[in-house]
């Protein structure tokens, strides 16, 4: 009954989406009936949430009379992985996608007060049309509630690599981000339909884009850390197609976030902002398409299903094509924004947007080029880190350089004397550059470290001369996010410049050294886990007066048969010691040891970037609230 209730709720929600879309099209003839758009959106959100709750319930009980549960879960699994199994597969993740889409539509219908009634209705109509496509996809091509007859006894299990707390919450975080961008898309489409592209649109869009951007950032950072500790390769970014699939919407959202500020504050960049909103959500859909279609085989090859790819591709072409067509038809009639000089905050944000667009373009080409070549010529090629590093590296440095200047400029126009404040970060960069000559390293890490130091100084400058306690949260958000970029850059540069590696086959009792550490290999023991067995190595690491124990494992899972490496990692203030147990060679065991100074700064920086976004979001919401109760006349 649970499964049937979930399925019925989905059908009802789909019907409501159809009604909502129809009402939004109907125009004035229907009069009062058009007010039904809002309750339809809310009810649709509630029904999909109910359906998703039913799926979770099925997984919680391991109801193996449902195909999806039988194929993706196992009664022996720990509770958290039984629950995360609900979205750790194709059907479940698509249901999650629709749920977030519909819930976001409901929330928008409930809270949005800045837009005109016409614009809001058009926006909700667009959101309903988006939801309809995905409801159709679920109900026709991937019903998550399909029954299995006869029921399976235990279920098949979940890929052991997915049995990790990081992976249980990584996909939903990204999805929430992807779908948050759907609201920006619908708002853009709604504004185009009613020709109301202006500051009100930007203010309505901003919290959604900020929220989506924060979640995308968290998802990407978490995914990067997962790859770092789970794969045992010691790397943190592989330019894997699936990583790129989440990076591309992030880049578009980052550009959008900055252009929205120009639109909200100054009324400029109207067409560009609308275009970016369309592009950002299209990138989310491309990301979903790449991951779900199996068109790109990758680290994430467990998510492969070619037949379903075409459905998502169809939706992608329909929505993006439709939005672009509308854009082409309407943009000529959108009112011109306010003028500004090139040397101004607006000018800097335009350059920021151009650089982000160039990075997005090159990542897009690099990710999809192999697909295009295979489709057109039939030849399989692969594009890897050498391409991505070469084309994105220099632009990232340019972006960092822009961050020295941009936040210090004033809106509309700025004169040269104000540019003198750049002297501070420039000086810091030069001093840092001089300091790095004490250590031997490559040119990119050297520049990275120096820029990171200068950027840290530059990002703090907007606080100079302000009363810290009275500085708005939105300014703090910008400062913290930009500082996070500096911290992450420093971590990445330090990792590539100073990492020390020791690889050896050791007998029990032998001592190896890596960086400042002496590591004694004490031997191995067999260990049993809930659904795996393992060989566990015992290491004692010493440095100065500190002694640490590390127990890296080599794990064997029976169902499905898989081996995984559980690296043992300890974190110190100045870096991480990362150890991997390899194979047995006679009476010796292979050991791989890394000392990675300040590698944690990479994710710490990522966390700061997300925190800054969150602070800006809170600042906006608070200001909005004050405006509503009349404490503030006009948002700045």
Partner 1 sequence: MSPSRKHQRLVLVLLGVAALIGAALLAMWGLADRAAYFRTPQDVAAGRAERGVPLRLGGMVREGSIRKLPDGVTVTFELTDGPASVPVRFRGIVPDLFKENSGAVAEGQLGRDGTFVADNILAKHDERYMPPQMGNQASELKTRETVK
Site residues, partner 1 (CB under 8 A): 159, 161, 231, 233, 269, 272, 296-299, 301-302, 336, 339-340, 350, 354-355, 357-362, 365-366, 369-370, 380-387, 390-391, 395, 503-505, 562-564, 580, 582-583, 585-586, 588, 590, 592
Q: Name the minimum Å distance from CB 24 to partner 1.
A: 31
Choice between 294 and 425, CB closer to partner 1? 294
Q: Name the minimum Å distance from CB 556 to partner 1.
A: 9
Residue 498 CB neighbours (<10 A)? 18
Q: Name the minimum Å distance from CB 38 to partner 1.
A: 36
Q: Which residues have CB under 8 Å from 562's CB, separation 6+? A: 159, 160, 161, 556
Nearest-angstrom CA–CA distance, 255 and 253: 5
- Determine which helix (DSSP H) or strand (DSSP E) holds 540, and give its type and residue range: strand 532-543
Choice between 4 and 501, CB closer to partner 1? 501
Q: Name the minimum Å distance from CB 386 to partner 1.
A: 4
The answer to whether the Cα torsion of 602, 604, 607, 609 is positive or negative is negative
Choice between 458 and 512, CB closer to partner 1? 512
Q: Name the minimum Å distance from CB 615 to partner 1.
A: 30
Judge contact between 601 and 496, C-beta under 8 A: no
Q: Name the minimum Å distance from CB 586 to partner 1.
A: 8
Choice between 477 and 582, CB closer to partner 1? 582
199-230 and 270-293 helices cross at what angle (nearest 10)?
30
Judge contact between 598 and 575, C-beta under 8 A: yes
Q: Which of 148, 141, 4 is nearest to 62 (CA)?
A: 148
Helix (H, G, I), strand (E, B) or coil at 154: coil
Q: Name the minimum Å distance from CB 98 to partner 1.
A: 29
Choice between 14 and 368, CB closer to partner 1? 368
Choice between 443 and 573, CB closer to partner 1? 443
Choice between 49 and 304, CB closer to partner 1? 304
Q: Name the minimum Å distance from CB 597 to partner 1.
A: 20
Choice between 476 and 521, CB closer to partner 1? 521
Nearest-angstrom CA–CA distance, 26 and 120: 14
Choice between 478 and 593, CB closer to partner 1? 593
Q: Name the minimum Å distance from CB 444 to partner 1.
A: 14
Nearest-angstrom CA–CA distance, 445 and 436: 9
Tokens standing for residue 322: 């439709």
Per 3-state DSSP, the chain is made up of helix, strand and coil in percentages (nearest 5) of: 65, 10, 20
Nearest-angstrom CA–CA distance, 282 and 126: 14
Nearest-angstrom CA–CA distance, 440 and 515: 15
Residue 542 CB neighbours (<10 A)? 15
Helix (H, G, I), strand (E, B) or coil at 503: strand
Helix (H, G, I), strand (E, B) or coil at 325: helix
């Amino acid at each position: 009954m649970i499964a049937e209730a979930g399925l019925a709720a989905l059908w009802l929600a789909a019907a409501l989406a159809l009604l909502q879309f129809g009402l939004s099209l109907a125009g004035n003839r229907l009069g009062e009936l058009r007010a039904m758009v809002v309750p339809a959106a809310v009810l649709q959100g509630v029904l999909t949430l109910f359906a998703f709750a039913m799926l979770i319930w099925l997984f919680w009980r391991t109801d193996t009379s449902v195909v999806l549960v039988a194929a993706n879960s196992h009664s022996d699994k720990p509770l958290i992985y039984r629950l995360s199994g609900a979205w750790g597969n194709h059907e479940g993740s698509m249901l999650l996608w629709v749920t977030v889409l519909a819930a976001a539509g409901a929330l928008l219908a409930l809270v949005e007060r800045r837009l005109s009634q016409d614009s809001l209705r058009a926006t909700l109509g667009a959101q309903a049309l988006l939801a309809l496509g995905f409801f159709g996809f679920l109900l026709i091509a991937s019903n998550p509630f399909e029954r299995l007859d006869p029921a399976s006894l235990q279920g098949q299990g979940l890929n052991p690599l997915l049995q990790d707390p990081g992976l249980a919450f990584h996909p939903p975080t990204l999805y929430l981000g992807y779908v948050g961008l759907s609201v920006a898309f619908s708002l853009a489409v709604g504004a185009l339909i009613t020709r109301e592209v202006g500051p009100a649109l930007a203010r309505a869009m901003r919290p959604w884009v900020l929220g989506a951007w924060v979640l995308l950032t968290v998802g990407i950072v978490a995914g990067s850390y997962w790859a770092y500790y789970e794969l045992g390769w010691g790397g943190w970014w592989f330019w894997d197609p699936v990583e790129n699939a989440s990076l591309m919407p992030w880049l578009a959202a980052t550009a959008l976030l900055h252009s929205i500020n120009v639109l909200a504050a100054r009324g400029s960049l109207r067409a560009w902002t609308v275009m970016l909103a369309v592009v950002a959500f299209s990138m989310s859909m491309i990301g979903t398409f790449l991951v779900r279609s199996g068109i790109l085989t990758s680290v994430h090859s467990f998510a492969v299903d070619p037949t379903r790819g075409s459905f998502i591709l169809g939706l992608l072409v329909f929505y993006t094509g439709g939005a672009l067509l509308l854009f082409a038809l309407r943009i000529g009639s959108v009112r011109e924004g306010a003028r500004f000089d090139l040397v101004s905050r607006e000018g800097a944000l335009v350059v920021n947007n151009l650089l982000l667009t160039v990075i997005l373009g090159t990542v897009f080409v690099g990710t999809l080029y192999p697909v295009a070549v295979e489709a057109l010529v039939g030849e399989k090629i692969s594009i890897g880190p050498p391409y991505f590093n070469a084309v994105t590296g220099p632009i990232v440095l340019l972006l960092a350089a822009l961050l020295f200047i941009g936040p210090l400029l004033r809106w509309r126009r700025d004169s040269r004397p104000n540019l003198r404040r750049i002297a501070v970060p420039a000086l810091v960069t030069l001093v840092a550059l001089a300091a790095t000559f004490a250590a031997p390293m490559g040119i990119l890490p050297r520049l990275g470290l120096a820029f990171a130091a200068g950027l840290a100084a530059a990002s703090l400058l907007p606080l100079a001369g302000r009363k810290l306690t009275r500085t708005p949260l939105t300014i703090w958000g910008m400062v913290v996010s930009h500082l996070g970029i500096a911290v992450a850059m420093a971590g990445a540069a330090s990792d590539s410049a100073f990492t020390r590696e020791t690889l050896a086959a050791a007998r029990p009792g032998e001592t190896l050294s890596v960086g400042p550490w002496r590591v004694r290999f004490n031997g191995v023991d067999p260990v049993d886990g809930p659904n795996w067995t393992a060989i566990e190595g015992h290491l004692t690491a010493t440095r100065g007066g500190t002694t640490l124990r590390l127990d890296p494992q080599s794990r064997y899972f029976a169902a499905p048969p898989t081996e995984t490496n559980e690296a043992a990692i300890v974190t110190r203030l100045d870096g991480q010691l990362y150890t991997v147990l390899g194979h047995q060679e006679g009476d010796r065991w292979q050991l791989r040891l890394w000392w990675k100074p300040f590698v944690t700064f990479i994710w710490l920086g990522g966390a700061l970037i997300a925190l800054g976004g969150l602070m800006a979001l809170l600042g906006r919401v608070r200001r909005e609230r004050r405006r509503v109760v009349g404490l503030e006349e006009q948002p700045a």
